[in-house]
């Protein structure tokens, strides 16, 4: 197994000896090298235990890459072109042996991770293009389509065992509580949906928010649900208080197109402006910039199995890796000592740029004395 996530070997160490003393040892980078695709990737997922990254692009192709901080060692393992239209989401099985993909062609594919062999195809899984995919457990999958339909599948059986349609627009994202009882959905109709998959019934829809809800995740040890929107606002719901928001705040981003939790208080968001922002929940602060896709929209985000790397896909047709070490060392004060509106957004990784954005109330362990010089 690649040791990329476990430890970073000393530069020049670990290479086999060579009688040619002029050979230059491989350079060890802070993050794996960028991966360049022929089309933007709309699906992105890390393997649960190995240093593998899967991506599905808008041409319908699916790729699996091995990644490493050793320069030149990040490479494509295999690709699959079985989908007829855009591949919109990918997810590894719990044991990491299978890769499940969904597409605009309405199909669900199950692929063998080692060789990329197509093992199962459900050709007309939905009556409309499939937009989202969630792994419930080792046997059960949830899928959501462009018309608001949600289906649950037991891979050991034929056909869906749950089929519901409460939303009026596309299912953008889904999340599951730790007990695997409630399925939460973010939809283009601006509503958060709640479905009890244990009892196989619909629970409720929230009040519609302004703009599409594009992403959903559970935060604060299960006490809060965060939803991103197409207007750049983050909406918070109390657990068991899904009918109406408990809080909201604008990130001053063009949109929140995707997001992924890093800790129970910190999450990262991707936006149309190409910036990947780190956001703290309660207190609600934009902490800084993790990275960017140089003005191109960020399509998807994923966190590695060890939590060390964030991967992002953008319309620049690149898969990029970002080091999470600096972000994890950040501490956010409950008390906001000084608020800077319109100031630069602090760079939180060596590859991130400082951008003009909102920044407030940050305290780091290495904090230097503040000065007002411009």
Q: Would you state the pLDDT for residue 348?
A: 80
Intra-chain end-to-end CA distance of the chain, in Å: 49
CA distance 169 to 257: 16
**pTM to 2 decimal places:** 0.87
Burial class of residue 72 in the structure, from the number of CB atoms within 10 Å of its CB (0-12 exposed, 13-18 middle, 19+ buried): exposed
Instruction: Write down the pLDDT at residue 149.
Output: 98
Cβ pair 349, 288 in contact under 8 A? no
Instruction: Calculate the alpha carbon distances from 311 to 41, 43, 96 in Å.
Output: 12, 11, 18
Is the distance from CB of 124 to CB of 143 less than 8 angstroms?
A: no
Nearest one of 203, 197, 191 to 154, comparing CA atoms: 197
Name residues whose C-beta falls within 8 Å of residue 97's C-beta, 6 or more positions apart in sequence. Answer: 112, 113, 114
3-class DSSP assignment, residue 42: strand
Distances from the Cα of 154 to the Cαs of 100, 136, 141, 203, 271, in angstroms? Answer: 13, 10, 7, 21, 34
- Mean pLDDT per block of 10 residues along the chain (374 residues) reads 50 46 79 97 98 98 98 96 97 98 98 97 97 97 98 95 97 96 98 97 96 97 97 96 96 94 95 95 93 94 96 97 87 61 71 53 35 42
The values of phi and psi at residue 109, to 5°, are: -120, 145
Cis bond before residue 283 (omega within 30° of 0): yes
Is the torsion defined by CA of 71, 72, 73, 75 positive or negative? Answer: positive
């Amino acid at each position: 197994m690649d040791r990329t996530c476990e430890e970073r070997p000393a530069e020049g160490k670990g290479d086999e000896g060579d009688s040619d003393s002029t050979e230059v040892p491989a350079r060890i980078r802070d993050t794996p090298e960028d991966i360049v695709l022929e089309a933007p990737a709309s699906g992105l997922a890390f393997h649960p235990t190995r240093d593998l990254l899967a991506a599905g692009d808008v041409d319908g192709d699916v790729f699996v890459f091995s990644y490493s901080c050793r320069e030149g060692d990040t490479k494509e393992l295999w690709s699959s072109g079985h989908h007829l239209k855009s591949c919109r989401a990918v997810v590894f099985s719990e044991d990491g042996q299978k890769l499940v993909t969904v597409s605009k062609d309405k199909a669900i594919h199950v692929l063998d991770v080692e060789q990329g062999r197509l093992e199962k195809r459900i050709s007309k899984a939905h009556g409309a293009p499939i937009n989202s995919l969630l792994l419930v457990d080792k046997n059960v999958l949830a899928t959501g389509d462009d018309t608001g339909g949600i289906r649950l599948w037991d891979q050991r059986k034929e056909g869906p065992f749950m089929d519901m349609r409460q939303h009026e627009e596309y299912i953008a994202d889904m999340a599951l509580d730790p007990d695997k009882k409630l399925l939460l959905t973010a939809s283009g109709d601006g509503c958060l949906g709640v479905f009890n998959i244990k009892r196989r019934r619909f629970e409720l829809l929230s009040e519609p928010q302004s703009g599409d809800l594009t992403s959903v995740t559970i935060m604060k040890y299960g006490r809060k649900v965060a939803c991103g929107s197409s207007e750049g606002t983050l909406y918070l719901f109390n657990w068991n208080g899904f009918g109406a928001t408990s809080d909201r705040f604008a990130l001053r981003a063009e949109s929140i197109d995707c997001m992924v939790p890093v800790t129970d208080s910190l999450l990262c968001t991707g936006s149309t402006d190409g910036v990947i922002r780190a956001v703290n929940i309660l207190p609600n602060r934009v902490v800084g910039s993790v990275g960017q896709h140089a003005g191109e929209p960020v399509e998807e985000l994923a966190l590695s199995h060890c939590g060390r790397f964030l991967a992002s896909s953008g319309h620049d047709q690149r898969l990029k890796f970002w080091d999470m070490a600096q972000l994890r060392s950040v501490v956010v004060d409950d008390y906001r000592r000084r608020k800077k509106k319109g100031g630069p957004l602090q760079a939180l990784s060596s590859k991130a740029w400082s951008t003009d954005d909102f920044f407030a109330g940050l305290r780091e362990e290495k904090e230097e004395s503040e000065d007002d010089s411009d």
